[in-house]
Amino acid sequence: MDQNGELIKEKRIMNLTNMGKGRPKGSKNILQADVKQAFWNAFEEMGGIEGLVAWAKKNPNSFYPLVAKMMPTKIEGANSHAGVVVNITGLAD
């Protein structure tokens, strides 16, 4: 094998050692950000909040399950003499 072939083989082996590591820690997931932006753009083009309200009124059986998925998954409360303190955790993004 010539010198060029050895270099290619060496690069393949080096590449295999990095398999499964994923993105470096702290790096941003650009694809996820692009997809979120695309959905936001589509939402705006379809009428934004006014369009969502119109759709929800026509499709309550589809709308309410979506709302339920965004509700808190855990609600904690503590009773005190000053009143009730409620901490809501687990809100969806």
Whole-angstrom distance, CA of residue 64 vs CA of residue 70:
10
Q: Given this model, what pLDDT does residue 27 score?
A: 73
pLDDT per residue as tens digits for the range 4-17:
667 666 666 666 66
pLDDT per residue as tens digits for the range 18-71:
666 777 777 777 788 889 999 999 999 999 999 999 999 999 999 999 998 888
86's tokens: 């409620």
- What is the domain partition of the chain in residue ranges? 27-93
CA torsion sign for 51, 54, 58, 64 is: positive
pTM for this predicted structure: 0.46
pLDDT per residue as tens digits for the range 51-66:
999 999 999 999 999 9
Q: Given this model, what pLDDT does residue 88 score?
A: 66
